[in-house]
Structure formats: C-alpha cells, structure tokens
Amino acid sequence: MTSEIFSKRYFILPRAEIGHLRFILESYDGLAFARTLDKQKGLVEIACSASRVCELEALLQSLVAEIGLQKVDAPETIPPL
C-alpha cells in the first residue's frame, strides 16, 4: 500500500495517555492506528483510510477533552516505518 491511501494527522498528548489512545483506537476495529513519533514530547501520528476520515474526526474531537489530544502540524522529519 502507498501512503496516499491513508490520511494522516499529528497530535501531542500527555505521555501517560499514549497507551490509552492506542487502546481506544484498537477498540474501533480497523478505524485508525497510532504511531508514536516522539515519546518524550508525546507526539503521535494517527492514520486512517481515506474512506473513514469522517468517523475518525468525530472520535478525535471527543478525545480532545478526554485525554488532552492537541492537533499539531506534521513534523519536518518523520521516521520511516
């Protein structure tokens, strides 16, 4: 698969909440996945298929208040998978 298939977003959240975020995303079977880019800063990349962006946006909005998720711009360098 190519990266164009996925819609990616970047967020900062409290480090202690990274595991919680992964658990929540996994409970929505196949909706999205999270990748930690910088554990110290709490920077994560969340990717989902382009067909599920609307569903993901609704979930992310609820996570803003629940776990302190803050949307940020894509980092200048992103580590390879």
pLDDT band at 4 (very low <50, low <70, confident <90, very high): low
For the entire predicted model, the pTM comes to: 0.86
One-letter-per-residue 3-state SS of the chain: CCHHHEEEEEEECCHHHHHHHHHHHHHCCCCCEEEEEECCCCEEEEEEEHHHHHHHHHHHHHHHHHHCCEEECCCCCCCCC
pLDDT 10s digits, 16-28: 999 999 999 999 9
Contacts of 38 (CB under 8 A, 6+ apart): 75
User: What CATH architecture is 8-72?
Assistant: 2-Layer Sandwich (3.30)
Q: Where are the domains of the chain?
A: 8-72
Average pLDDT of the segment spanning 77-81: 78
